[in-house]
Chains A and B, each alone.
Chain A
Amino acid sequence: MTDGLDQVKAWIVKRHPDRDDIAPDLDLIENRLIDSLSFVEFVFLLEQVSGRSIDMDTLEVDSIRTLEAIDRTFFKARVS
């Protein structure tokens, strides 16, 4: 897991104290860990952590549906 993803995971856990861990394949949207309001803040976080600008209008839901997808889309992609 990348440092960036660790920060993302910590951000989610901080806002959902009922959870002490989040499985990499857990659907963050179906489980309401990210809703419409927190989505905007979440994108803001992703921009800060990944150093990339994110266009909310073109962002695919599946790209932030799970921690695995977030890692693949925003962190591992930078290495290649």
Chain B
Amino acid sequence: MPAHPAPSGPGWANLGMDIVSVKRVRRLLDDYGEGFFERMLTPGEIADCRTSTGLDVLSLCGRIAAKEAAFKTLRVRDRFLPWLDIVVRRSDGGWPLVHLRGGARHMAAASGITEITVSISHDVDYAVAVAAPIITESKGETP
């Protein structure tokens, strides 16, 4: 087994993981309001995080952690996380589903990644997420 596996290809799955502090996100919400998160979350994602009493900070943290974890599986350098192109929605069953679009979809395709699966967990002060890419045989991306 090579010490430094190739970043993509059948047989390899580069995991991504992230942790987000509730304290940090709560400060952002307090300082800037809900509108700030429109730069990071789609309207659908924000709706998923909303409860009858407003935005649920733990849910926000979980979404943010999931996006970062998913981005880490792409193994790209010198690129910022394309926040709105990695969409994490709640499925009917309650588990998170990742949808790649725009720049994120192209970055994934370049590594042979067609989909990303993610799991989120949270407790009082932190949310964590782990992501794994689904890598398929390259068939050549259509432009």
Contacts and interface: CB of A to CB of B under 8 A. Distances in A.
- Is chain B found bound to chain A in the same assembly? yes
A36 B80 contact: yes
Nearest to A34: B80
Contact of A37 (B64, B82, B102): B64
Interface residues of B, number: 19
Contacts of A62: 78
B83 A56 contact: yes
- Does more than half of chain B's interface fall in helix, strand or loop, or is it mixed? helix
Contact of B32 (A39, A44, A56, A59): A44
A20 interface: no
In this complex, which of A36, A43, A57 has the most chain B Cβ atoms within 10 angstroms of its Cβ?
A: A36
B82 A36 contact: no
Interface of B: 20, 24-25, 28, 32, 36, 39-40, 64, 68, 71, 78-83, 102-103
Interface of A: 36-37, 39-41, 43-44, 56-57, 59, 61-62
26 contacts: A36-B68, A36-B71, A36-B80, A36-B81, A37-B20, A37-B24, A37-B25, A37-B28, A37-B64, A39-B81, A40-B36, A40-B40, A40-B83, A41-B28, A41-B32, A41-B36, A43-B39, A44-B32, A44-B36, A56-B39, A56-B80, A56-B83, A57-B103, A61-B78, A61-B80, A62-B78
